[in-house]
A and B are shown apart, each in its own frame.
Chain A
Amino acid sequence: MRRLSATLSAVSLFATAAALHAAPPALTQAQHDAAHAMFEHVINTPTVIGRHRVPEMAQFVADQFKAAGFPAEDVQVMPYHTESATTGGDDTAALIVRWRAAGKPAAKPILLMGHMDVVEAKREDSTTDPFVMTERDGYYYGRGTIDMKDGIVGITQAMINLKAAGFKPKRDIVVLFTGDEETNGIGAKNGASQWLDLLGHPEFGLNADGGGGGFNADGTPAGFTMQTAEKTYAGFTLTVRNRGGHSSKPRKDNAIYSLAHALDKIEAYRFTPMMSETSRAYFAGREKLEKGPLGDAMRRWLANPNDGEAADSIEASESEVGLTRTRCVPTRLFGGHADNALPQLATAMINCRIFPGVDPNAIKAELERVVADPEVVVTRNDDYVASLASPLRPDVTAAYTRAVQALHPGMPVFPEMSTGASDARPFRVAGIPVYGTNGGWVVTPIDNRAHGKDERLPVKSLYDNVVHWELMLRDLAGK
């Protein structure tokens, strides 16, 4: 769900390797045209929940693989149902493709991940029809252009190109494209459990719904990120009940005032700062660029992880919010039943993004301590378990860095903990590390339009991403 494009200042964390200025591989005109046609077709298929179009898109992508010579028995459309009280339901589908190693596999499979569904986009909220791909001013416009049908096309066209070029993987490459990442994540949950045999119990996953990079508006590189961790999404409800009464006779006990008081406490509260391998590497890179007070705070915190004041000033920066700890924020309010009656019920929805590895049940207990009012009852809205960080793997880090820098010489690369959530969570929880390693890029911040109005992708990014995935797969499955 909820992919956020990186908005990073530049500094190279990983080997700023003496840039390889060898020309990257280029697409043939036929490959370029095929990628364009595939992208246009999938953007024009409105795979929003409730519109029943994901199975059609899954079949279309499956047909591309089969036409390129992938055996039909290794290309499977998996229909499934997704539903929840807040999203409604849909009959959706996942696509699983297995490209088997030639001969005895050298290692367990690599999983390539993406999702085919998109967030709703309304015609009246968009400049042009969001489900008719439009090219103008050097951009492809349409819902899903960056979240994340560019990644679906990038992986698919890269595998087709590699097969045509005679590439023989030394380990299985397995594709899982899900159909409900933006809503309920049932596809990823199935993938990390009942479909694991089909997927060949992969050693690790590469998720096209994460990573990627950007350029600043002046053309300078803003950096690429590799997503190694994501915060756990968890919803909580604060509920206050009261006997109510007549509003002409106000009392001190009042459900709305108790709730407002609890919200005041949550507003003032800061969870304990936490640092992980990923965020330490991230801040170690960031501080080199930051000469001012923000950089000083990063340096102090890196030197002393118990320096809460330093962590607080980092967290207060709009560019770093959410990266130093668990954050919770109220997003919805409900209360009362008549304008002339004291409220009998008042509730607030609290949306938390929990630091990787922390149990949402512990956050519930912490919220209860913060609120410190027995009248305010804290309950969970979901049963998500703690998301885990994936340990940095030198092979993946190196392959990603090489691919990025082959296309964008000198481009800095950072590890990243995303504050949003994605399909990676159930795999990480199941012990399969996942890395967000897409190669798409945008101009930041003006192109950060995932979930928003007039979503768009620079035209060149689509084709760069195909090359990016070819480089990644040659590197990680060709040796």
Chain B
Amino acid sequence: MKRVFAVILAAAVSSAALAATDPRTVPSQLPAAWQTKTRELFKQAIEIPTVHNRGEVPRMAKLLADQFRAAGIPDSDIHVMPYEALPGDQTAALIVRWRSPHATKKPMLVLGHMDVVEAKREDWKYDPFVFREEEGYFLGRGTSDMKNGDVATTMAAVKLMSEGFKPDRDIIFFYSGDEETRGVGATLGSTKWRNLTDAEFGLNADGGGASYDRNFRPLGFGISMAEKTFQTYFFTTHNRGGHSSRPRPDNAIYDLADALEKLRTHRFQPMQNEITRGYFEERSRQEGNSALGQAMRAWLANPNDGAAADAIEANPLEVGLTRTRCVATMLKGGHADNALPQMAQATVNCRIFPGVQPKDVQAELQTMVGPNVEVAADPLYIGLPTPASPPRPDVMNAVKAAAARFHGPEMHVFPVMSTGASDGSFFRAQGIPVYDVDGSWGISPDDERAHGLDERLPVRAMYDDVLHWEMIFKALAG
């Protein structure tokens, strides 16, 4: 669920002196006719508001299915799978199998999701479900998370089919309909529907990607191979309430505010694993003698150096990579303007370091807030820690070749741990390694707006992503 747009690596110091070109102004290599088709599909996809409970995901599934059907995939290989996600949320997954006429390898799975996070008209400058293009960007909910990936993977396949490309392994497309809420689709896809999805490995379009800093220096292309565990907790306070003209020191809202103040300053124990150590080793080389680089080296040399880990975590580029993080995301409380609250509740969203059990995080939070605040895990989604995927040279090499073509040799490709969680975790948990390799990119941090306001994607990133996936398919199934 909950993808972070770009995984970020800081500028290679050696390139700092070069006058960098604004990557948004470089023309896309995608032929004009395919740009038109891509734009039209992207517009239609964005304008279907596939927020949970709106019942619109099946329409999106049909839109994508129609593209594959028109390109020549037989109906028998196109499966729209209806299912219920959150209670009452009728959604659907789409499973498409592009068969190889002479398969020599086990199938490859391509993952994406069709649903988007809620976006409210009154919070946005423009209607989030009206597709817009301005100043080199496509705007709308889902432009970066992740209808761009749905469109890129679909269009790449359609384009290759139109050019007569025959894969040497089956390529299975799996687009879920509730990645942002419960992950029921991915759960079913990795288990009950396994006869349709079984594969040697998966490539997830809901992660990966390159980024540039504001001076247009390449920051890197991260391939997520592990992810933190997603778990939401509720902090709840209760009180006998009363008439608001007679306030008392005991107050459910004040109790909750105190707990939130503790949460704001709480820091979990720093942790490392194989992937993050590899990441920080590479990053510390890039950072050179900067304070950040020194902190990284100090922490790698001594994993108990908490001060060094704190300094890394405080950097906006590294947030979430050194430990479990929790943050308050929603609030509710009270029942009348003129009554003391009987209940107040905060939703606290945690991203738990791989290997740590959610129940241990819950215990730590409970100790932190004390006995007056009840801490409970969201019963609708209990997170399961998942293993990291083993490194695969073929995937790394395919991504490196694509990154070099669209961004030049300065764009380094690294394995990373994702702070978000996605459908990939369900497949990893069921023995299918997953690699997040989408080719979209943006300017960091300005374009990191997934789940937030005025979500957007550079126009060229959308078009080049079609070519990026075309290269990936050719490299790994050709």
Contacts and interface: CB of A to CB of B under 8 A. Distances in A.
State yes or no: do A and B come from one complex: yes
Interface of A: 1-2, 4, 86, 231, 233, 235, 243-251, 254, 256-257, 259-261, 263-264, 267, 316, 318, 321-322, 327-346, 348-349, 351, 353, 381, 419-420, 451
Interface centre among B245, B334, B421, by most A CB within 10 Å? B245
Interface centre among B2, B325, B338, by most A CB within 10 Å? B338
B261 A264 contact: yes
27 contacts: A4-B246, A244-B452, A245-B448, A245-B451, A246-B5, A247-B349, A248-B351, A248-B421, A249-B448, A251-B319, A256-B328, A256-B346, A261-B257, A322-B245, A327-B245, A329-B244, A331-B340, A332-B334, A332-B341, A333-B333, A333-B344, A336-B347, A337-B123, A338-B329, A340-B2, A340-B451, A451-B243
Contacts of A256: 260, 328-331, 346
B117 interface: yes
Contacts of A254: 264, 327-328
A249 B319 contact: yes
Contacts of B333: 332-333
Given A251-B319, A338-B118, A353-B245, A333 B327 contact: no
B50 interface: no
Contacts of A329: 244, 247, 251, 340
Nearest to B314: A252
B325 A248 contact: yes
Contacts of A267: 251, 254, 257
A71 B337 CA distance: 43
B328 A343 contact: yes
A318 B248 contact: yes
A244 B119 CA distance: 11
B326 to A, nearest CB: 8
Contacts of A337: 118, 120, 123, 330
B339 interface: yes
A343 B254 contact: no
Nearest to B345: A333
A264 B232 CA distance: 24
Contact of B261 (A231, A260, A328): A260
B420 A351 contact: no
Interface residues of B, number: 65
B253 interface: yes
B331 A331 contact: no
Nearest to B344: A333
A419 B253 contact: no
Nearest to B120: A337
Contact of B451 (A264, A335, A338, A420): A338
Given A335-B330, A346-B331, A341 B452 contact: yes
A4 B243 contact: yes
A80 to B, nearest CB: 23
B42 interface: no
A446 to B, nearest CB: 16
Given A233-B338, A267-B254, A331-B340, A339 B329 contact: yes
B131 interface: no
B49 interface: no
A346 B319 CA distance: 23
B1 interface: yes
A331 B261 contact: no
Interface centre among B180, B260, B261, B320, by most A CB within 10 Å? B260
B440 interface: no
A351 B338 contact: yes
B187 interface: no
Contact of B329 (A231, A333, A340, A419): A340
A353 B174 CA distance: 58
B316 interface: yes
B244 A248 contact: no
Which 9 A-B residue pairs are closest in the complex by CB-CB distance? A336-B330, A335-B331, A332-B334, A333-B333, A419-B245, A250-B327, A260-B260, A248-B419, A329-B247
Contact of A381 (B337, B339, B378): B337
B330 A339 contact: yes
A86 B327 contact: no
Nearest to A340: B2
Given A2-B243, A259-B257, A349-B337, 12 more contacts: A257-B261, A257-B328, A260-B257, A260-B264, A267-B251, A331-B244, A331-B336, A332-B335, A337-B118, A340-B1, A346-B331, A353-B244
Interface in B236-252: 243-249, 251
Given A246-B450, A250-B319, A335-B331, A340 B230 contact: yes
B452 A342 contact: yes
